[in-house]
Structure 1
Amino acid sequence: MKKSLLSALIAGLFVAAPVLAFEPFAVKDIRVEGIQRTEAGTVFSYLPVKVGDTLNDEKAAQSIKALFATGFFKDVRIEVDNGVMVVVVQERPAISTINFVGMKEFEKDVIIKALKETGIGEGRIFDRGLLDKAEQELKRQYLTRGKYGVNITTTVTPLERNRVGINFNIEEGVAAKIKQINIVGAKSFREKDLQAQFELTTPGWLTWYTKNDQYSRQKLSADLEKLKSFYMNQGFLEFNVDSTQVSISPDKQDVYITVNLTEGERYRVSSVKVAGDFNISDDEMQKLVSVKAGEVFSRDRLNASTKAIADRLGKEGYAFANVNAAPEIDKEKHQVAFTIFVDPGKRVYVRRLNITGNTKTRDEVVRREIRQMESGWYDADKITTSKQRLDRLGYFTEVAIETPAVAGTSDQLDVNVNVAERPTGNLMLGLGTSSTDKIILSGSISQSNFMGSGNNVTMQVNSARSYRTYVFSYTNPYFTQDGVSQGFDIYHRTVNTLSTSIAYYRSASTGAAIRFGFPIGEKESIGVGLGLDSTKITAFENSPPKYREYVGWTSGEASLTKLSLPVTTSWSSDGRDSFFFPTKGTYQKASLEVAMPGGDLKYYRANYQLQHYFPLSQRFTLMLNGEVGYANGYGGSELPFFKNYYAGGVTSVRGYKASSLGPYIVEDGTTYRLGGNKRVVGNAEVLWSLPGMDKSFRMGWFFDAGQVYGSEDKFSLSDLRYSTGLSAAWVSPVGPLRFSIGRPLNKGEKDQSELFQFQMGTTF
């Protein structure tokens, strides 16, 4: 006969004095009843009683409490059957399925993952309390998206084998939009100017993407901090946000935000002093301080001053320098004096350089770009330079460098470099048709970080009839340990200008070249190269007279093969902060190509490019680019016409058809471009990134100018062609892409325009 000892109804009374329900006895055996999914061994593992132990009221209570704590059971009883301890349980149901009806705002997989963190997931034990918590969390997520009218109904359906199915029925409603932002208390600035400091805004033409017209507590907090910075930079030292009110309309469609503020008085700087024990001259220290006496106080300039001092000390190895500005406020005169206290601390050196995140790229490829050495004195400039060099490689989407102190020491730190690799391989296969080229097959395989070695390998094939290319290139950027690069190219290129804007001729070039690069500074290098090229030029009856004369044409078609020995030299300086999407810095390159005596051709081509990026704000960048080129023959030889410059197209003056600018001839009503020996191109472009796509997509508004001049033409600004339009650059899974929609501003009578242009597989 079984005797019931305790039940779930008295589980909450374990803290009280135990109820004597039986005489203690030695447990002969333990039996579990009522389990369906749980193994008996699992129950045994949680019991504090084993066979042979003496079971009493206290141990029985402990057993029930332990089994309840597992969360597996909703009822537990302990009974006795002739010396056998019988554990009777009623299992909680398991969650079999989770379904969402009406959910469009979120991806199902994302929400399921989030619910698991609250304890709700398929295969887990069902708990009504956890389900209520999950429902509230899901509703909170909708509120962050501005869905204040969301209605979530949860149903639990019992299934066979003690399982349940959970259904979330969601009526999302429409996202509430910010109807109005009011700023109360502003006297010195227009409300419109203050609202411009906010990321949150009323609905606009781009808010469908940015979602900035939807209220977010985090965004509002950030906006209030921006507002405070704006006032502090204008001298309002006592500025304060008194309160904020956020209200929603009864229909839950409109949000109203009110910010109450007190401006205070505008303060000027009366004096600035630097105090402390440092080994930098007073004159140099004063140059680092951008806050000057007599000026309106600016928090940004004050912070820039303290940072400049800390950075300067960092160059000397003082990584943990403490630089603080202490104000002395004169409220009557509305003036503030600052004493900048400088405590350099101890000079520190780098114990270890740690690299993480490079699953494919070899450690040595990263280390050779890092200018901070292990066991050397810490240098903040070298850390910054190292990050810029890693960014410019183009191998990584993110580069983060941290310098934590070594525990237990006061003069050591580690340099932790964490990178996030981007795909550096590029495989492109193309099949296309056109009215002139018929079937076009193209393909390329390039790997800028071949097998993680940092070497570049490229094979390219293009079978278009106009421009056929077969190229194999290899570059080792560290041919020697001190950064001398070495590379070579093998190519075969054919040009058939019949279907282009260029005057008609055909060429076939086969050659090879070897290249070396020598670093002469942190950002500068020079390059030299030697090549051997054999070019076969063919002219036709409808070719220009100059072309026919060059090859000795008499009738039909005539060809001439020329051998050349091109020698190239170049100098480049790259101070940009990124490889794909720079936001600041300068890039320069000067190059000279000379066909040396000993070959059939004698010519030279000189080019210079200057490019600068100016950060306008956190999201906007101004890019200015200028290029000039000049070519000619020497030693009594003329410049071969197939070495002429051309302009027009996505890489020079957008909005004009490729190679359509410059000297031309007209035959039978058709205009043919001849190219020229002088080329001028200028570009100005305001660039901006889209939220969430800073590293992969960027748009711009451009203004282009350029022209090509013949040997007898004089350079004249009046001959330049101008265009404007929108551009987009995208680092896509198939390689870098560049698009533009351009409109010519002063199109000539014979110029050819092209509204949409694109380029794939090159950097921007």
Structure 2
Amino acid sequence: MSPEVQRLIAGAGLVLSIVAPASLHAEEEGRFVIGDIRVEGLERITPGTVYSYLPLKVGDTFDPGRSPQVIQTLYETGFFSDVRLSRRDDTLVVRVEERPAINEVRISGNRDIKTEQLEEALRQVGLDRGRVFNRGVLERLKNELLQQYFARGKYNVQVDVEVEPLERNRVDVIIDIAEGQVARIRDIRVVGNETYSDETILDRFESGNAPWYNPFSRRDQYSKQRLSGDLERLRSLYLDSGFLNFNLDSTQVTLTPDFKDLYVTINVQEGEQYRIREVKLAGELIVAEDELRELLQVEAGDIFSRRRVTESAEALTRRLGDEGYAFANVNPIPEVDEENGEVDLTFFVDPGQRVYVRRIHFNGNDRTRDEVLRREMRQMEAGWYDASRVERSRVRLQRLPYIQDVNVETRRVPGSSNQVDLDITVEERLSGNFMIGAGYSQSDGVLLNMSLSEDNFLGSGNSVSVTLNNSQVNTVYSLSYMNPYYTLDGISRGFNLYYRETDAYEADISRYSSDRFGADISYGIPLTEYDTFRITPGIEGVDVITSDYTPDEIFDYLDREGNDYQLYTLGASLSHDTRNRTVFAEKGNLQRLGLDLSLPGSDLEYYKLSYRNQHYLPLRERLVLRLSGEVAYGDAYGDTSDLPFFEKYFAGGYRSVRGFEDYTLGAPGTRDSEGDPYGGNFRLLGGAELIFPPPFMQEADNMRMSIFLDAGQVYPTYEDFEAGEIRFSTGVGWTWLSPVGALTFSLAEALNDKPDDELQTFQFNIGASF
């Protein structure tokens, strides 16, 4: 019996009033046969509800000794705050006092914990609109709220709860929260460490002193969960360095009297460092032992590392998965020699049963047809399960422009030991886009753009785009269509119609204007899983318009070649792409070898060769090193005297070498007689970029920041190349994939500029593609 029920029964004068009037005090006279049961005091609850809980019914003999049982049964329903029993002749009278009903729960002052989370917690303990109000539950919830805020480092939080009575036995529950400020970490001290310094350890922590260069950092804001993660990182540091007996003795968090600052002390015992004496493979080795050993990242003589042992076991598991053993288990078993500080390591291999894929199910593709996703699959139905093919299928789906995320789950088929189903859940992104807007680019000036594009036309995976872009430099009208699976073998075919007006004067290069209009058809032929050959034949008309400010070099070229050209073009490229994503890639490599050619019979005969390489190296979670390089060369052939001036290469600006004005870089011989950039036939670019999420928006998927080093130069020809002419710059960049297009900003400093170079520290591009 609960204390509250006991108090209810044993309260002053209550027992006498509960049991009966004076006639019930007699020994035998207290018993009576219940002729009727009457319930009094009800407001919202129906009598039938009370009868359903009452352990008595009409016709039973009432014994005063059962009164406590009756009271406890009704009280434990939670509906009543008071229960009394009495007798009127042969009628048992049950007098109750209902608990009030909750009319509304109002929460205010909360910022760190969302209102929806608090309301859900209230519902789980029965505090919700229309429910019976229980003050005891409310007090427990108040204490839980305090603990939640304490875990977030807000020790001076105040939670005030007020109950406002209303008519008809109702109440409003008002919860007012004053969260206060997060306690700041003033110092973290590690005691007992000898192998690693405090600085080395704390550099791995997410908690600690805030860096001076980041005013938005929350590193010094205490969080119990974050500190727990830091302690696990500390444990991993030592276990990955051979300290098998490493132990975290204790962690003390000391608050200052005003609850605003705290100090953390971590006591550790390092123990001895262990080395691996022998590495063995045991169990059922489906794959040749020599091949499996090549996958191991540990060998005899190495310092024991838990991380490398785990990665070795995962590599073995993946290799077995490639053979169809989807549920293989590789268990690393260490045998520790405490006396000599050595470990014998045995990888016990249990492949389980080989399985094949019965069915592949797609979920979440509300707009995209099943066959569009299925054609990206490299794991086939009715084939042996292959872990590498399953992973490659996931990446291919993830690279589709209309798919945001992909999750693959391998599920056993009920009643079968050698079959599995693949459940693939995709999260689609909006594939259609109608955009009309304006922007500004330092290279192109004011931008007016309108585009209608659909990357997944009618769920077919085909893309259609109509674009109108207007800027001070370029006016572009285009219509394009692409079918990525023109044939079942994955050959793509696309069409493109375009018209482009260019005013080079507005770009601060050699002064001329041109109108270019054309059409082309493109075929993409997959050679391997990662290699694609693309060929694009087309036709283009070019009309060059001069002015009084046009330089002599262009007039001389037009005198030799004319100013109106009909060109038969051919583009060809060979690309190798292993990136995990096409936008904001985190790992992989992209290489492209390209050729753009005006075919014999054109009014101008020339070619342009280029090679580009981008390599993404993940350093740690969401920290990526991007290395890039490009070399490009163009020249004329046949009767044409030189590469056309409208096909020359330029450098400088956010597309190449940041910190230098757009199009202005160039070695001697790349400017015209007016002193404006004329371009060159040979371009060399390179760079390194450390990419990371913004410190103040760690979870943002559409933003990236970077620290970069750019290098590049343009030369009249490759024979004019001089390494000393290459320009370098360094700085920070920021890219945001906003709803109106990509926004890019950079703050750069030239490292070896010369007096004639045109510098531009801050560069940006808004509202235009890049």
- Give the alignment's TM-score, normalised by structure 2: 0.88
The code of the aligned residue for 2:761 comes to L
Query: How far does residue 648 in structure 1 lie from its aligned partner after superposition?
Result: 1.5
Counterpart among 675, 680, 686 of residue 682 in structure 1? 686
Distance change >3 Å, CA 134–CA 25, structure 1 → 2: same
Counterpart among 659, 666, 678 of residue 663 in structure 2? 659
Q: Residue 632 in 1 paired to residue 635 in 2? A: yes
Secondary structure at the residue paired with 1:230?
A: helix
Distance change >3 Å, CA 285–CA 562, structure 1 → 2: same
Distance (Å, rounded) in 2 between the aligned partners of 1:224 and 1:309: 29
Q: Residue 499 in 1 paired to residue 502 in 2? A: no
Higher mean Cα deviation, 132-141 or 719-728?
A: 132-141
Counterpart among 534, 537, 540 of residue 541 in structure 2? 534
Query: How far does residue 401 in structure 1 lie from its aligned partner after superposition?
Result: 1.8
C-alpha contact 2:634 2:643 (8 A) present in aligned 1: yes
CA shift digits 1:357-393 (9 cap, x unpaired): 3333332232222211122111111122112212222
C-alpha contact 1:8 1:75 (8 A) present in aligned 2: no
Q: Which residue number in structure 2 is paired with residue 471 of structure 1?
A: 478
Query: How far does residue 517 in structure 1 lie from its aligned partner after superposition?
Result: 0.7
Counterpart among 25, 29, 33 of residue 23 in structure 1? 33
Query: How far does residue 9 in structure 1 lie from its aligned partner after superposition?
Result: 5.3
Distance (Å, rounded) in 2 between the aligned partners of 1:451 and 1:548: 51
Alignment gaps of 5+ in structure 1? 1-6
Distance change >3 Å, CA 49–CA 738, structure 1 → 2: closer
Distance (Å, rounded) in 2 between the aligned partners of 1:216 and 1:606: 55
Query: How far does residue 126 in structure 1 lie from its aligned partner after superposition?
Result: 2.8
Query: How far does residue 100 in structure 1 lie from its aligned partner after superposition?
Result: 4.3
Q: Which residue number in structure 2 is paired with residue 444 of structure 1?
A: 451
Q: Which residue number in structure 2 is paired with residue 348 of structure 1?
A: 355
C-alpha contact 1:154 1:166 (8 A) present in aligned 2: yes
Higher mean Cα deviation, 96-105 or 363-372?
A: 96-105
Distance change >3 Å, CA 88–CA 423, structure 1 → 2: farther
CA shift digits 1:674-698 (9 cap, x unpaired): 1112111111001112464253222
Distance (Å, rounded) in 2 between the aligned partners of 1:425 and 1:470: 19
Distance (Å, rounded) in 2 between the aligned partners of 1:304 and 1:683: 32
Q: Residue 733 in 1 paired to residue 743 in 2? A: no
Q: Which residue number in structure 1 is paired with residue 705 of structure 2?
A: 699
Query: How far does residue 341 in structure 1 lie from its aligned partner after superposition?
Result: 1.8
Query: How far does residue 347 in structure 1 lie from its aligned partner after superposition?
Result: 1.0
Q: Residue 577 in 1 paired to residue 580 in 2? A: yes
Distance (Å, rounded) in 2 between the aligned partners of 1:383 and 1:432: 43
> In the TM superposition, what are the counterparts of 1:89-128 in structure 2 within 5 Å?
90-128=97-135
CA shift digits 1:633-670 (9 cap, x unpaired): 11121321111111122221112222222255466xx7
The code of the aligned residue for 1:643 comes to E
Q: Residue 611 in 1 paired to residue 614 in 2? A: yes
Q: Which residue number in structure 2 is paired with residue 4 of structure 1?
A: none
Q: Residue 562 in 1 paired to residue 569 in 2? A: no
Distance (Å, rounded) in 2 between the aligned partners of 1:425 and 1:114: 39
Counterpart among 244, 253, 265 of residue 246 in structure 1? 253
Q: Residue 396 in 1 paired to residue 403 in 2? A: yes
Secondary structure at the residue paired with 2:620?
A: coil
C-alpha contact 1:679 1:707 (8 A) present in aligned 2: yes
Distance change >3 Å, CA 314–CA 101, structure 1 → 2: closer
C-alpha contact 1:538 1:551 (8 A) present in aligned 2: no
Query: How far does residue 623 in structure 1 lie from its aligned partner after superposition?
Result: 0.7
Question: Sequence identity, in percent?
Answer: 41
Distance change >3 Å, CA 567–CA 167, structure 1 → 2: same
C-alpha contact 1:49 1:55 (8 A) present in aligned 2: no
CA shift digits 1:719-752 (9 cap, x unpaired): 1111111112223333443322222222233332
Distance change >3 Å, CA 146–CA 229, structure 1 → 2: same
C-alpha contact 2:403 2:427 (8 A) present in aligned 1: yes
Please provide the CA RMSD for this pair: 3.6
Distance (Å, rounded) in 2 between the aligned partners of 1:640 and 1:61: 104
C-alpha contact 1:267 1:296 (8 A) present in aligned 2: yes
Secondary structure at the residue paired with 2:52?
A: coil
Query: How far does residue 575 in structure 1 lie from its aligned partner after superposition?
Result: 0.6
Counterpart among 617, 620, 624 of residue 621 in structure 1? 624
Q: Which residue number in structure 2 is paired with residue 204 of structure 1?
A: 211
Q: Residue 379 in 1 paired to residue 386 in 2? A: yes
C-alpha contact 2:210 2:217 (8 A) present in aligned 1: no
Query: How far does residue 83 in structure 1 lie from its aligned partner after superposition?
Result: 10
Distance change >3 Å, CA 21–CA 641, structure 1 → 2: farther
C-alpha contact 1:650 1:658 (8 A) present in aligned 2: yes
> In the TM superposition, what are the counterparts of 1:266-305 in structure 2 within 5 Å?
266-305=273-312
Q: Which residue number in structure 2 is paired with residue 339 of structure 1?
A: 346
Q: Which residue number in structure 2 is paired with residue 716 of structure 1?
A: 722
Query: How far does residue 522 in structure 1 lie from its aligned partner after superposition?
Result: 0.9
Secondary structure at the residue paired with 2:314?
A: helix
Distance (Å, rounded) in 1 between the aligned partners of 2:591 and 2:440: 39
Distance (Å, rounded) in 2 between the aligned partners of 1:478 and 1:437: 35
Counterpart among 354, 363, 374 of residue 367 in structure 1? 374
Higher mean Cα deviation, 693-702 or 519-528?
A: 693-702
Distance (Å, rounded) in 2 between the aligned partners of 1:298 and 1:228: 12
Q: Residue 594 in 1 paired to residue 597 in 2? A: yes
Counterpart among 738, 747, 750 of residue 744 in structure 1? 750
Secondary structure at the residue paired with 1:672?
A: coil
Q: Which residue number in structure 1 is paired with residue 272 of structure 2?
A: 265
Higher mean Cα deviation, 270-279 or 158-167?
A: 158-167
Distance (Å, rounded) in 2 between the aligned partners of 1:447 and 1:114: 43
Query: How far does residue 90 in structure 1 lie from its aligned partner after superposition?
Result: 4.6
Distance change >3 Å, CA 548–CA 140, structure 1 → 2: same
Distance (Å, rounded) in 1 between the aligned partners of 2:769 and 2:157: 46
The code of the aligned residue for 1:360 comes to R
Q: Which residue number in structure 2 is paired with residue 3 of structure 1?
A: none
Q: Residue 320 in 1 paired to residue 365 in 2? A: no
The code of the aligned residue for 2:608 comes to R
Q: Which residue number in structure 2 is paired with residue 646 of structure 1?
A: 650
Secondary structure at the residue paired with 2:565?
A: strand
Equivalenced residues, count = 745
Query: How far does residue 587 in structure 1 lie from its aligned partner after superposition?
Result: 0.8
Distance (Å, rounded) in 2 between the aligned partners of 1:22 and 1:206: 85
Distance (Å, rounded) in 2 between the aligned partners of 1:642 and 1:80: 108
Distance change >3 Å, CA 78–CA 228, structure 1 → 2: same
Q: Which residue number in structure 2 is paired with residue 150 of structure 1?
A: 157
C-alpha contact 1:536 1:559 (8 A) present in aligned 2: no
Query: How far does residue 622 in structure 1 lie from its aligned partner after superposition?
Result: 0.9
Secondary structure at the residue paired with 1:228?
A: helix
Alignment gaps of 5+ in structure 2? 1-5, 25-29
Query: How far does residue 206 in structure 1 lie from its aligned partner after superposition?
Result: 7.1
Q: Which residue number in structure 1 is paired with residue 3 of structure 2?
A: none
C-alpha contact 1:48 1:62 (8 A) present in aligned 2: no
Distance change >3 Å, CA 547–CA 115, structure 1 → 2: farther
The code of the aligned residue for 2:472 comes to R
Distance change >3 Å, CA 8–CA 686, structure 1 → 2: same
Secondary structure at the residue paired with 1:616?
A: strand
